[in-house]
Amino acid sequence: MTPKQTENLFALTTPLYYVNDVPHVGSAYTTMAADAVARFQRLQGKSVLLITGTDEHGQKIQRTAEALNRSPQEHCDQIVSSFESLWDKLDIQYDRFSRTTASRHADIVKEFFGRLWDKGDIYLSQQQGWYCVACEEFKEERELISEKYCPIHTNKPVEWRDEENYFFRLSKYQQQLEALYQERPEFLEPESRRNEILSFIGQGLQDFSISRLNLEWGFPVPVDPKQTIYVWFDALLGYVTALLDSDQEPTLENALSQWWPINLHLIGKDILRFHAISWPALLMSADLPLPGRIFGHGFLTKDGKKMGKSLGNTLDPVALVSQFGSDAVRYYFLKEIEFGQDGDFNLTRFVNTLNADLANDLGNLLNRTLKMVHKYFDGRVPEVNLAAMAEDHPLKSYGQTLGKTVAQGYENLAFSQICEAILNLVQAGNKYIDEQAPWSLYKQGKLDLVKSVLYSVLESVRLAAYLLSPITPNLSNRIYNQLGFSIDFNDKTTIETALPYETHAQWGVLPADQRLAEPQPVFLRLELPETLSS
Ligand SMILES: Nc1ncnc2c1ncn2[C@@H]1O[C@H](COP(=O)(O)OP(=O)(O)OP(=O)(O)O)[C@@H](O)[C@H]1O
């Protein structure tokens, strides 16, 4: 296999979402995080491949389609379009949308199955156990709630299964998996998830079935077409199929030639075992290198329960975006729920956070400063001697190190800390301008001081807008435009050259004499609605 050709590539994935229903804010959560990482990596000059898509096979989808009187394919097509349209509304810049019903995916799955078969890692045996169709997963009896529900889907009882299936020899990879987690602790984050998986592996891994009888909706097992390939076997390989260019022959060699191994899989903790145990073991069996890193984040909850399509307790992201805009939704979820932890949604907190952080602290600071620059300096960035500014200047000293801190935050997927660190600069800007009172300095004729104060505040707002741009690209665009730049954070073809991190994440980038636009509110205050409507 050709190793990854250059360090300059960064491939990442969201889960391929089940199409049992339209997406909800939970599906959006992982995708917004993935998009923020992808945008940050582009600013770092990387060529990025952001993969999202849909998992369309299996009993869960077949039953959903039957209940709606649609053919499974027709059903999948309808739901897929709602995912695509939500990603557009949320400004998600994905590069590949992988559908597991694509014919090229069938070729990849067949070839992969063949590798494992030739290795002797697949065999026929009897499968007995409790199956949760909503998870598409067998459950241990001890995991069940009231003896019949899986811990997540407490509205759909598990079903007893007793059938002959093909099995994958997971147990053979027990030691290799243990070694993986010992040698590469960063393979799975956060630490709490890694501990959970280590304890699961420590109990002893069992082989698992990778085919189903009496299920039409899926790919036939290549060696026995009466059986259908298990949805998760096929879904995980959707990440590999997505790596093919549209004009490439669907072979494993082609798929793995450029972007493999994928750098980062972002998932929710519900699908942790599939990614942290089954996926590396399947890849080990196929003699393929493993992905760089998996991050299993927490759940958005409603009344303490995971929001989900199967439970039906979801929040409609389309309604949220229509009412408040995509930046607001992206900022709120990434800032207010620590990535890795669970968090409940609260509409009042949503409105208050956005008004406080983006409308007041950031937006007003820019607005009032711009007004003064228009009044005192004819709307041009005042010229200052940056080198002469004291090293302990509160904005300069913080601004000089912020780019590094924030880059570390994006690498660590610490979105909440990133927002806090940027907000600290903005709040320091507000405090500084109030203390310095440039309007009084102007009256006293201290023009050099006025210039220095206004420049350092504008530069702080610029830096904040730049560093926030992976999370709030439209707000950052508006701020940059008011500061006189004609650069588009949403143009991923030019961003690498027009807005490189190594330059724009520094302090002192705003060019003297640059003409500023007329001040306009960059983030309108939100009103608390009585209800959310689509
Ligand atoms: N409540 C949630 N909080 C955070 N992420 C979620 C949530 N619900 C879904 N996700 C994201 O979607 C992935 C699961 O996708 P899936 O299509 O199974 O959605 P689902 O709504 O959980 O479906 P179901 O309720 O039928 O299990 C998770 O791993 C996570 O990435």
DSSP line for 97-161: EEETTSHHHHHHHHHHHHHHHHTT-EEEEEEEEEEETTTTEEE-GGG-BTTTB-SS-TTSB-EEE
Q: Is the CB of 56 under 6 A from ligand 1?
A: no
Model confidence pTM above 0.90: yes
Q: Is the CB of 296 under 6 A from ligand 1?
A: no
Q: Is the CB of 26 under 6 A from ligand 1?
A: yes
At position 316, the amino acid (one-letter code) is D
The C-alpha atoms of residue 86 and residue 62 are separated, in whole angstroms, by 23
Q: Is the CB of 504 under 6 A from ligand 1?
A: no
Q: Is the CB of 23 under 6 A from ligand 1?
A: no
Q: Kindly state which CATH superfamily the domain 343-504 is placed in.
A: Isoleucyl-tRNA Synthetase; Domain 1 (1.10.730.10)
Q: Is the CB of 18 under 6 A from ligand 1?
A: yes
The C-alpha atoms of residue 425 and residue 370 are separated, in whole angstroms, by 17
The CATH class for the domain spanning 9-297 reads alpha beta
Which residue out of 21, 90, 133, 270 has the highest number of ligand 1 atoms within 8 Å of its CB and is therefore the one to mutate? 270
CA dist list (Å): 194 to 7, 181, 285, 305, 405: 26, 8, 22, 22, 25
Q: Counting atoms of ligand 1 from 1, which one is nearest the CA of 55? A: 17
Q: Is the CB of 306 under 6 A from ligand 1?
A: yes
At residue 524, the pLDDT reads: 95
CA of 28 from ligand 1 middle (Å) equals 9
Q: Is the CB of 267 under 6 A from ligand 1?
A: yes
ipTM of the complex model:
0.97
Strands laid side by side in the 211-212 sheet: 211-212, 224-229, 220-221
Q: Is the CB of 353 under 6 A from ligand 1?
A: no
Which residue out of 59, 153, 272, 309 has the highest number of ligand 1 atoms within 8 Å of its CB and is therefore the one to mutate? 309
At residue 147, the pLDDT reads: 79
At residue 305, the pLDDT reads: 84
CA dist list (Å): 214 to 76, 226, 230, 242, 451: 20, 8, 12, 29, 76
Q: Counting atoms of ligand 1 from 1, which one is nearest the CA of 271? A: 29
Q: Is the CB of 271 under 6 A from ligand 1?
A: yes
Q: Map out the domains of the chain as residue ranges.
A: 9-297, 343-504
At residue 412, the pLDDT reads: 98
Q: Is the CB of 232 under 6 A from ligand 1?
A: no
Q: Is the CB of 270 under 6 A from ligand 1?
A: yes
At residue 6, the pLDDT reads: 61
Which ranges of the chain have pLDDT less than 70?
1-6, 533-534
Among protein residues, the one with the nearest Cα to ligand 1's atom 21 is 308
